[in-house]
Structure formats: C-alpha cells, structure tokens
Amino acid sequence: MNLLTVMSKGGYFMIALAAGSLVALAVLIERYIVIRRARAGTEPTAAGVLKLAGGGDIEGAKVQCKLSRRAVGRVLLAGLEVLGNVDAMRESVSLAGQVELDSLEKRLGWLSMVAAAAPMVGFLGTVTGMIRAFMQVQAHSGQVDASVLAGGIWEALVTTAAGLTVGIFALVGHNWLAVQIETLTHQLRKASLTLLKLSVAPGRDYVTL
C-alpha cells in the first residue's frame, strides 16, 4: 500500500490538510528567499558605510547606503539624514528598523495559522471517523467485525497523523524564520548603535561590528 492510498483513507479532511501544507511550504520558501537576500552582505555593507561616515564623508556614506539596496543601508540612511541630532537619529533609525522588520515578517501569520489549524482539522477528522465507526456498529446491531469498522478507523488515524505532521512542519518553519529575522534585527541594531556613537563622538573609528 503506497502513501497516496493511505492518505486517501483520510477522507475529505485530507484536502484541507494538503492545501495547508502547500500554503506553509510556499510561505516558507518565499520568506526564506526574502530574508536570505536581506541578510546577505549586511555586516560588510554596514562596515563600509560607517567607515565613510567616521572619516567625515557623510555624503559618500549616504550614497553607499542607497547603492546597497539592503535593509541595513536603508536603516543607516535614516540615521545619516539627521546625523548630529541624537534624539532624531534614534527615532528615525527605530522607525526605519520597524519598517524593515514588518516587511520581513510579512505572511508569517499564514504559517502560524496553519500550525494552529492543521492539528485541529486532524482531530476533527478523528471525531468524524469514530462517528462513522460507531454508526456502522449501530447499523449492524453490534454484530460487526474489523473490516466493517476499518473505514472509520482509517479516517480517524490518518487525519490525526496528517494534521500533526502539517502542524509541526508549519510551526518549525515559522520558528526557524523567526530566528533568521532576529539575527538580522540584531545586526541592524548593532550597526545603528555604532552610528549613534559616531554622532555623539564624531571623528572616531567605529567600524568594528
């Protein structure tokens, strides 16, 4: 008996679980690509911008930020635009960082939804499968063998296993992406704090990240 045959025993609930697994996989792949691109070259870009700013070439640093087309470039550019005003820099960098964070977390809610809903759909299939099994018992006045109950039991077991599998996959994927975003957030925060220090004490070399 192959996997497709086993899955078909789960009934119509398997369609919903299959759809949920496809949604989770699509979001996971799409977000991974976006986050990977955002993280690529973050530290070298930040070091280059801060080196220019530390040497007094603020315009050059701004150009470098714009050319980088990276999250760290946009965040540092927000600070460079108001360089010298620490409070304004802190606010600008914070807002820019939040915009980048919101962009990275886009569609992660779909993974959370699949992670929460898939096990519930599986358990619902368990309940309906057991209902079917007991309906067969009643229809045969209690005189049944295992073959009569097999359909309902198949549905109960297969949907439970499928629901848990899809839910675990979505949950692990969501948490893994969250870790990647947190790593990038830490890098952005580190670069932003270095830029703030540079504003407080201009002329010092703050390129170590």
Let me know: does 89 contact 77? Beta carbons within 8 Å. no
Distance CA 193, CA 208 (A): 12
**Chain segment 192-201, per-residue pLDDT in tens:** 888 887 766 5
How many other β-carbons are positioned within 10 Å of the β-carbon of residue 142? 7
User: Can you give the pTM of this predicted structure?
Assistant: 0.77
Give the model confidence (pLDDT) of 20-54 as tens digits. Answer: 999 999 999 999 999 888 888 788 888 888 888 88
Q: Give the pLDDT confidence score for residue 169 in this predicted structure.
A: 94
What are the residue ranges spanned by the domains of the chain?
10-200
